[in-house]
């Protein structure tokens, strides 16, 4: 175990950052709760020790100053090695070294801004001396103490810091230099020997430091960074100090984490660390996408102008007017198709510009999430009560009818949205219940697609392409515009792969559908054998991670399912709900078989079964539902609960279905409010990544700073409107891009294949340039 040893070493620092978020990080912020610090306009990343080592490899960091700087040094070192022990002379130099990463962090005991500190700093500016990469300095309270708070001492402090400032500014041209302002003291508990250290004196010393530092380089990019946020942190936490002078450990850790964010965010570029990160440059694919959308907008405006011009003339088109340019417009079908395409891409281009500005440009603020029970449960209760007020009669009373499944998707999606924006994933019982909601979506995937293929027997190319287009269109566009891999939007790859699996299971020889099975019960056993084979394949892949990863690491599958250079995330997501689609298919098969044999009573107001059976199943369902909730609420370890989740999530899903459908009155009504959201649930799930949340779901988008409630109202309204509009655009384009005529469809598929081949080629070029 490494220890802090007494020795002689030095400290200093400066940072050259042009981004305003760095200024905000260093100078402003507030506490969310007791320990979570929120900078004014950006998000802070919580660095792990492995990340800190990766950022600071081969770096030399120096802290120079008094006991408060020594405390900051200790907290900074613990970010690199959390097992470090604070040992050695507290009023002496303390070195630290991590040989595995070649990191040196030194504390130099210079409690006063005087000639000794000046000589130490000056030594780094001379000749070929190796300069520290980061210098963090600060001192004042010791001077106030030993000079009994005299005005002469303050005057001398100004003289000394004036002589040191040019040296620090010179160092700032090649190193990152920070001057830490002094935080307030808690005067009521200061010892008698420190009573002269008053907040009035501290403010005077801070004002002197601010007015002198950088005075000679105001127009220069290289300057000393004033670390004034430490003062704000101290104002909130100094009353927890045991001696009135030194901050509690949690506050020092916050200051150390801010230092780490200032230096490391621009190096490691963490997704949830938007502070000090420059706006990423546009990739070649993004530039081409923006050109395409710009041309679409221009084309639509030109077409609209020509159309309106001709409409005003209100007479037949002739060759005398506009010559050849009017010949294509005489084909109303062609004009209609072209107008639909241009209109859709025009709207989509404007929407994508909003996406980019929200989550890639540094135009809008972003904040960290902070979970409280009230931030999750109060909106949840409000939404659920609101949904009840929009109850209407269903058009049909069959189990899991269209209105009911839309309602189910809707309220689940709203719960998931509240879960995401409130940061409720940190509360394990909520996390486990939301995992059931995600599983329920996949259950509906199995149920819905199996029911369609079983009843319709339609395995045609048109149906497959329509489903794949509607599922993937928005995600493909976002992958291009937002420069994100396909697997980043994990839910769409998940439902896409499961749709393909369901299709393959039912479409391969022998194709067994309801019409064929009604003539011979043997076919039912054939279908069961297919389903059992599917279950065995799922079980095999779930227990053979190596085989799974080899399959999806093959090119070009790897381009779709890799995230951060491997397919582990895809393996984790697939495995987490591996059985629930099969459960949905089995449920559909059993339900449709019982329905065909008239075992179920699905008339309006009628219970699904006889009274005794209905009451018994309702009792079992309620018990099962509550049992799962009790188990999920008692979970202590997320990893262990996730292991059981694939097998037990179906209990609560089936319990909900039976509770919702056995009583006739419950099956005959639905919430139109939830159903409306259910019809755009996929778009809501995907759009939240960038225009409701921020930093790829890690934070919250701030359109209206300083007013969280109004911000949520405005951003939510825009978010929902955009999701609804994208749903309409997807439906419109699906009719044009995926025609019913097979010959035309095959030609379109060849064009799409060419498009993706070009995309892979450009992606490869981008990858090489980045490397």
Catalytic residue ranges: 67, 243, 246
CA distance linking residue 69 with residue 225, whole number of Å: 16
> What interhelical angle do 461-481 and 332-359 show, nearest 10?
40
Query: Could you tell me which residues come within 8 angstroms of residue 347 by beta carbon, excluding any fewer than 6 positions away?
Result: 725, 729
Q: Which long-range contacts (CB under 8 A, 24 or more apart) does 511-514 make?
A: 511/457, 511/459, 513/453, 513/454, 513/455, 513/456, 513/457, 514/454, 514/455, 514/457, 514/592, 514/596
| DSSP notation for 599-642 | -S--STT--SS-HHHHHHHHHHHHHHHHHHHHHHHT---HHHHH
CA distance linking residue 136 with residue 110, whole number of Å: 12
Under DSSP, is residue 517 helix (H, G, I), strand (E, B) or coil? helix
CA atoms within 13 A of residue 660's CA, in its CB half-sphere: 20
What are phi and psi for residue 63, nearest 5 degrees?
Answer: -110, 125
CA atoms within 13 A of residue 50's CA, in its CB half-sphere: 0
What Rg do the C-alpha atoms of the chain give, in angstroms?
A: 32
CA-CA-CA-CA torsion sign (380, 385, 389, 392) = positive
Query: Could you tell me which residues come within 8 angstroms of residue 409 by beta carbon, excluding any fewer than 6 positions away?
Result: 441, 444, 677, 678, 679, 681
| Count of C-beta atoms within a 10 Å radius of residue 198 | 16
CA distance linking residue 445 with residue 681, whole number of Å: 13
| Strand pairing class (134-138; 60-65) | parallel
Query: Could you tell me which residues come within 8 angstroms of residue 388 by beta carbon, excluding any fewer than 6 positions away?
Result: 671
Under DSSP, is residue 175 helix (H, G, I), strand (E, B) or coil? coil
Under DSSP, is residue 177 helix (H, G, I), strand (E, B) or coil? strand
CA-closest candidate to residue 676, choices 739, 738, 720, 731: 720
| 549: enclosing H helix or E strand | helix 545-552
CA distance linking residue 601 with residue 587, whole number of Å: 17
What are phi and psi for residue 53, nearest 5 degrees?
Answer: -65, -40
Spell out a b/e string for 156-170, using b for 16 or more CB atoms within 10 Å of the CB, else e. Answer: bbbebbbbbbebbbb
Q: Do 139 and 112 contact (CB within 8 A), yes or no?
A: yes
What are phi and psi for residue 729, nearest 5 degrees?
Answer: -60, -45
Alpha-carbon dihedral angle through residues 414, 688, 424, 277, given to the nearest 10 degrees: -170
DSSP state of 275: T
| Strand pairing class (225-227; 29-32) | unpaired
Q: Do 94 and 4 contact (CB within 8 A), yes or no?
A: yes
CA distance linking residue 156 with residue 148, whole number of Å: 14
Under DSSP, is residue 740 helix (H, G, I), strand (E, B) or coil? coil
Distances (CA, A) of 643 to 46, 172, 208, 636, 655: 27, 52, 60, 13, 21
Q: Do 113 and 17 contact (CB within 8 A), yes or no?
A: no
């Amino acid at each position: 175990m490494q220890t802090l040893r007494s020795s002689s070493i030095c400290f200093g620092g400066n940072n050259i950052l042009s981004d305003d978020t760095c200024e905000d990080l260093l100078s402003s912020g507030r506490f969310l709760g007791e320990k979570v610090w929120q900078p004014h306009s950006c998000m802070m990343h919580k660095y792990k020790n492995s990340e800190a080592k990766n950022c600071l490899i081969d770096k030399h960091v120096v802290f120079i100053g008094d006991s408060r700087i020594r405390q900051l040094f200790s907290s900074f070192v613990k970010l690199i090695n959390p097992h470090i022990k604070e040992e050695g002379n507290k009023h002496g130099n303390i070195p630290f070294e991590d040989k595995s990463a070649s990191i040196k962090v030194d504390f130099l005991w210079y409690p006063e801004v005087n000639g000794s500190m000046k000589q130490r700093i000056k030594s780094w500016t001379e000749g070929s001396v190796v300069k520290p990469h980061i210098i963090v300095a600060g001192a004042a309270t010791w001077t106030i103490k030993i000079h009994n708070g005299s005005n002469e001492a303050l005057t001398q402090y100004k003289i000394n810091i004036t002589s040191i400032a040019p040296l620090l500014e010179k160092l700032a041209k090649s190193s990152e230099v920070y001057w830490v302002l002094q935080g307030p003291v808690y005067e009521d508990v200061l010892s008698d020997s420190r009573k002269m250290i008053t907040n009035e004196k501290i403010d005077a010393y801070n004002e002197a430091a601010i007015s002198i530092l950088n005075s000679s380089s105001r127009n220069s990019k290289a300057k000393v960074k004033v670390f004034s946020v430490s003062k704000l942190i101290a104002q909130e936490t100094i009353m927890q100090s045991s001696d009135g002078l030194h901050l509690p450990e949690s506050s020092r850790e916050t200051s150390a984490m801010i230092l780490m964010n200032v230096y490391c965010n621009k190096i490691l570029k963490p997704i949830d660390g938007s502070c000090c990160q420059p706006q990423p440059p546009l990739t070649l694919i993004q530039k081409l996408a923006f050109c395409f959308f710009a041309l679409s907008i221009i084309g639509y405006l030109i077409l609209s102008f020509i159309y309106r011009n001709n409409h005003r003339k209100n007479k037949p088109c002739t060759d005398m007017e506009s010559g050849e340019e009017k010949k294509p417009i005489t084909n109303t079908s062609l004009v209609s198709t072209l107008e639909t395409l241009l209109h859709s891409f025009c709207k989509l281009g404007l929407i994508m510009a909003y996406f980019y500005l929200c989550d890639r440009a540094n135009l809008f603020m972003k904040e960290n999430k902070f979970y409280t029970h009230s931030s999750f449960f109060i909106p949840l209760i409000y939404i659920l009560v609101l949904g009840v007020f929009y109850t209407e009669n269903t058009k049909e009373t069959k189990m899991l009818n269209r209105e009911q499944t839309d309602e189910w998707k809707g309220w689940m999606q709203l719960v998931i949205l509240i879960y995401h924006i409130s940061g409720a994933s940190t509360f394990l019982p909520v996390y486990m219940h939301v995992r059931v909601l995600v599983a329920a979506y996949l259950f509906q995937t199995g149920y819905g697609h199996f029911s369609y293929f079983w009843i319709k027997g339609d395995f045609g190319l048109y149906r497959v392409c329509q489903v794949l287009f509607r599922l993937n269109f928005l995600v493909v566009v976002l992958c291009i515009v937002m420069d994100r891999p396909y697997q980043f939007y994990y839910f769409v790859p998940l439902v896409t792969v499961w749709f393909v699996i369901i299709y393959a299971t039912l479409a391969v020889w022998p194709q067994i559908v309801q019409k064929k099975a009604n003539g011979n019960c043997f076919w039912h056993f054939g279908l069961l054998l297919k389903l059992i084979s599917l279950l065995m394949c799922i079980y095999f892949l779930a227990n053979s991670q190596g085989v799974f990863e080899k399959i999806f690491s093959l090119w070009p599958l790897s381009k779709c399912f890799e995230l951060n250079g491997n397919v582990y995330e895809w393996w984790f997501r697939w495995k987490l709900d591996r059985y629930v689609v099969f459960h949905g298919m089995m449920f559909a098969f059993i339900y449709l078989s019982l329905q065909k044999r008239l075992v179920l009573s699905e008339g309006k107001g009628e219970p699904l079964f006889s009274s005794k059976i209905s009451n018994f199943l309702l009792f079992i369902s309620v018990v099962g539902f509550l049992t799962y909730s009790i188990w999920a609420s008692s979970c202590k370890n997320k990893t262990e609960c996730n292991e059981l989740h694939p097998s037990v999530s179906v209990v609560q899903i089936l319990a909900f279905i039976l509770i919702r459908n056995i009583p006739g009155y419950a099956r005959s009504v639905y919430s139109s409010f939830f159903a409306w959201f259910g019809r755009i649930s996929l778009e809501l799930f995907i759009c939240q990544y960038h225009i409701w949340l921020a930093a790829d779901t890690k934070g919250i988008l701030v359109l209206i700073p300083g007013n969280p409630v109004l911000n949520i109202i405005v951003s939510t309204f825009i978010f929902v409107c955009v999701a609804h509009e994208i749903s309409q655009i997807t439906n419109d384009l699906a009719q044009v891009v995926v025609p019913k005529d097979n010959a035309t469809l095959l030609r379109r598929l060849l064009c799409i294949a060419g498009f993706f081949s070009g995309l892979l080629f450009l992606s490869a070029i981008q990858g090489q340039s980045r490397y």
